[in-house]
Amino acid sequence: MIRALALALALLPLPAGAESIVAGLSQSSVSITADYAGSEILIYGAVKREAPIAPGRSLRVVITVEGPDLPVVVRRKDRIGPIWANTDRLRPGPVPSFYAVASSAPLDEALTPEEDLRHGVTLARVLRSEEPTSQPFMDAILRIGTAEGRYFTQENSIALTEETLFRTDVALPAALTEGNYTVRLFLTREGEVLDTVKRTIWVRKAGLERFIYENAHQQPLLYGLASLLIAGFAGWAASALFQRMRW
């Protein structure tokens, strides 16, 4: 009975004026190989509606791409006499290894602070600490991630045609962390979120990189012994080559 009711509700037409997102990705998986130097993901879609576009109330689209979380430790250095030393540290818990934000308009127009707080969209909201003393450490994480190209915001980078069709390209760096990358799409009007959709990009090592990674984690002893043998053989071969060159 409950399943039948849920199915009936899902098949009902959208309410008058309701708008929703239909979205897709140019690729849903990325393979990290020896020659991987980064890639671009095309995110595209359309606005589905059951009524004409409301005049004077522009639609906006905001897209985020979030990489898998990683544990981090942030240390602060202070000068103690003639030397610099670590005086404090913070373990903020897992933070995104990658985070990108794209929007079809300036973020302060596309999203109200209340909706940003509710959905955790902007970098300032994602990397925010509830304790004022911890916020400088979170700011350092944001600053370092931005300098390394792992965190960035691209306002006005989504092409929105006639408030119906949209598309944008998000660049993924060469130093990708393996795992699932979550793509979130927000449709807003006057800063209020009307609809949101999630998609996933699977990032995995492939080829020789995958073989080495699996052996290093599943058979660490054999992997270590093999590494020593290879290093020893390489040293012996280099020594023999130099001796022949001297003759």
| Confidence (pLDDT) at 207 | 55
59: its two tokens? 């639609």
Q: What residues contact residue 246 under an 8 Å CB cut-off, 6+ apart?
A: none
8 Å CB contact between 40 and 171: yes
- How far is Cα 149 from Cα 206, in angstroms, rounded to an integer? 23
8 Å CB contact between 217 and 224: no
| Confidence (pLDDT) at 180 | 93
| Confidence (pLDDT) at 181 | 95
pLDDT at 87 over 80: no
Q: pLDDT (tens digit, 9 = 90+) per residue, 221-239?
A: 655 665 666 676 677 667 7
pTM over 0.95: no
The phi, psi pair for 160, rounded to 5°, reads: -115, 110
| Confidence (pLDDT) at 209 | 52
pLDDT at 85 over 60: no
Q: Which residues pair with 68 in a beta bridge?
A: none
8 Å CB contact between 205 and 213: yes
Q: How confident is the model at residue 47 (pLDDT cuts 50, 70, 90)?
A: very high
Mean pLDDT of the chain: 79
